[in-house]
Every structure is written in C-alpha cells, then in structure tokens.
C-alpha cells in the first residue's frame, strides 16, 4: 500500500461532499455520528466556523488549528477536540491526513 493511500477497508466508502479543492475524503456513517477520513493534496486554510462537537486524530502531516482563540500545532499522533458551537479555523499543510468524528449524523452528505 502506498504511504499516502488509505487501505481498501476505508477507500471502499463513498467520498464526502466537502467543497475543498485538493481534499480527498471517505465518509463512514456511524448511527448519529460520522467518521470522515481526510487527505489534503495542497495547503489550505479553513475559515472560522462552528458546528456540533468534533474529535480528530492526525494520521500524517501537520496542521495548525485555532480553537476559541487557542492555537495548536498538531502532527502525526496528536488529537484534538472541539466542543459544540466552539469557533475554530485551521491551516492545513499538503500531505495532512486525519480521521475525524463529527457528533452529527448529517454533517456531510456522500458524493454522488
């Protein structure tokens, strides 16, 4: 398996309809929550926003995330948690991969 590819057990799932250029994603519905595996091909900036709670683990690469004004520099193996309605933004480097759990059944739709 190539270093930058998710294994087939993840890759067989539908992509999430997330409107970010250079993002590859896989969506796994888990009852009232969603797991999204994300892989970024280029540097991107996510503007400040808020939604239901979110937990993530960095699988590869680096990200700077700002949660309620606190800046965190994350790398492989690090985790983060964002409370419901907590404003956050991010600067994500090309090559970044993560697994994120959203505490929301309909955060994203599957791409058709």
Domains of the chain, by residue range, sit at 14-102
Q: What is the pTM of this model?
A: 0.92
Fold of 14-102: Jelly Rolls (2.60.120)
Distances (CA, A) of 34 to 26, 55, 74, 94, 99: 10, 11, 22, 24, 10
pLDDT digits over 40-90, tens only?
Answer: 999 999 999 999 999 999 999 999 999 999 999 999 999 999 999 999 999
């Amino acid at each position: 398996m190539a270093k930058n590819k998710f294994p087939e057990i993840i890759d067989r799932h539908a992509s999430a309809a997330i409107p970010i250029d250079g993002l590859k994603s896989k969506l796994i519905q888990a009852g009232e929550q969603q797991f999204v595996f994300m892989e970024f091909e280029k540097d991107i900036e996510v503007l400040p926003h808020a939604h239901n709670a979110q937990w993530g683990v960095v699988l590869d690469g680096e990200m700077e995330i700002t949660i309620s004004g606190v800046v965190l520099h994350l790398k492989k193996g690090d985790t983060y948690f964002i409370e419901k309605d907590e404003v956050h933004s991010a600067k994500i480097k090309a090559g970044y991969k993560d697994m994120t759990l959203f505490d929301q059944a309909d955060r994203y739709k599957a791409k058709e």
